[in-house]
Amino acid sequence: MFRKPLPLILTLTIVLPFVLVQSTLACPFCAAVSQTFSEEINTMDAVVIAKLVEPPKETDSSDEISKAKFQIEKIIKGESHIGQMHEIESLYFGEAKNGQSFLIMGVDPPKLMWSTPLQLSDRAKTYVTKLLDVPKEGAERLAFFQEYLEDHDEMLARDAYDEFAKAPYDEIKALKEKIDYAKLIEWIKSEDVPASRRRLYLTMLGVRGSEMDLPMLELMMKSKDRKEKAGLDAMIGCYLTLKGEKGLSLIEDLFLKNKKAEYADTYAAIMALRFHATDGGIIDREQVVESLRYMLDRPQLADLVIPDLARWEDWSVMGQLVKLFKEADEKSSWVRVPVVNYLRACPLPESKDLIKELEKIDPAAVKRAHTFFPVTPSSGEEKSSNWQRPKKDRVVAKIAPATNFVPPAVEDGDEVAVAESLAVNQASRPVTPVVLANKPPNSFLIPGVAILSAIAIMSLLWAILRGTNGRVSA
């Protein structure tokens, strides 16, 4: 069911960059689907619940669009803008009967422009009415939305999930004593629960569960059924949260050391380990780094972890990386730029000499490293004397896993197609584009990419509008 957001261009140019940045601080394995009701209400000047009293009239003219009439039942927000208004008119193309209730939002007072009405069930009316009384943040806020996870009203279930997906991980941990354990297990085992939501429930199980859940998680991780291990990154993250350092050996054997492991599974394991190296608070980072080193024995995938080794200042593998560079072939040539960047970040004096040595072997790779990755304060090439490396980088673990982004043609939860897509991408990825993706994300890169993306989309929209000779329907 369609929900009208802010005007499109305004959303893309102003809201999108902040949404992308904010998502890096939220639930580690979750990806929100859309704006929540609360977010939409906060951006609007007026919000009402109104019932349909007169459907739009049929017209013979294609240039004239009739509006439907709605009678205001309850003012949620903006009473001063609505005043003595009892009825409003808005475009409506549905087939609802008179008397059915809708959520309608307005902007730009004093002459409010009303959004496309969103039909509400009786349960949804109660839900929306209560939103303004819900705490702005914290465990008490999540406790309210927990009651609507997997609600029979899909619109409410989706909104509740998005609230959790955008909530800081610390708030989910604070909810521990109020998490419904029985429902979590039911949802995790259900094949009807979408993979995106399963990730949330696995994250919550890591907070609420115990060692009693380990056998279930181990069976799922070892399963050959792609659907049974949907949300593998969150599953591994949950397993390690409950098992601790002792669980690393199984993850290493299944996904890191195992050269027959599927690319999607290995990537999921790396994402889970990144989380535990930054925000997990259960396993020492040194132990995580030791596990990631096993990926260097798989040259075609080594580039996935080299930025992490540099970020966490593991200079013990310098010789192994130089060897990877020298022995790289057409199936692993993309490893070369990350190796150069690792050496650039290394403060040891021999790193500069090694870069010069590698430049004689592949000058193009060294040039790409310098061109696409400008010197930063963390680089060994140019570090100011008063600069201090942050003790903890929170960005890496918060990047949403690639498997979160299911192609439009793939139904949510069908990770077989996702895995196949990742496998094809891994088998055919060219040198330069993949190298570009290997730069360790930082707090400046993420908003920069978001802003540039928003500008590009805005330019495209402007070109389309210009192409219609400026005629845009109201």
- Do residues 112 and 81 lie in contact, with contact meaning Cβ atoms separated by under 8 Å? yes
Is the per-residue pLDDT at 279 higher than 90?
no
- Do residues 317 and 335 lie in contact, with contact meaning Cβ atoms separated by under 8 Å? no
Complete domains list, the chain, with CATH? 42-131 (2.40.50.120), 179-406+428-436 (1.25.10.10)
Give the model's confidence band at 215: pLDDT under 50 very low, under 70 low, under 90 confident, else very high. Answer: very high
Give the model's confidence band at 373: pLDDT under 50 very low, under 70 low, under 90 confident, else very high. Answer: confident
Strand pairing category for 46-54 and 118-119: unpaired
Per-residue tokens: 441: 């994300």
> Higher pLDDT residue, 410 or 352?
352
Per-residue tokens: 34: 């859309």
**What are the angstrom distances between the C-alpha of 26 and each of 31, 278, 279, 318, 440?**
9, 13, 11, 34, 19
Tokens 């940045």 appear where? 21
What value, to the nearest 5°, has the Cα angle with vertex 25 and ends 12 and 418? 75
What SS3 class is residue 272? Answer: helix
Q: What is the pLDDT of residues 44-95, one digit of tens each?
A: 999 999 999 999 887 666 666 788 999 999 999 999 999 889 999 999 988 8
Give the model's confidence band at 406: pLDDT under 50 very low, under 70 low, under 90 confident, else very high. Answer: very low
**What are the angstrom distances between the C-alpha of 47 and each of 50, 77, 137, 330?**
10, 5, 22, 58
Q: What is the pLDDT of residues 333-364, one digit of tens each?
A: 999 999 999 999 999 999 999 999 999 999 99
Is the per-residue pLDDT at 389 higher than 50?
no
- CA–CA separation, 92 and 67 (whole Å): 6
Q: At what angle do helices 139-146 and 154-165 cross, to 10 degrees?
A: 160
- Do residues 125 and 147 lie in contact, with contact meaning Cβ atoms separated by under 8 Å? no
- Its pTM stands at 0.74
Q: What is the pLDDT of residues 220-250, one digit of tens each?
A: 999 999 999 999 999 999 999 999 999 999 9
**Residues in a beta bridge with 105:** 47
Tokens 């003219």 appear where? 61
pLDDT for the residue numbered 21: 37
400-422: average pLDDT = 38
Cα–chain center distance at 104: 28
% of the chain with per-residue pLDDT over 90: 63
Give the model's confidence band at 276: pLDDT under 50 very low, under 70 low, under 90 confident, else very high. Answer: very high
The 10 Å Cβ neighbour count of residue 88 is 20
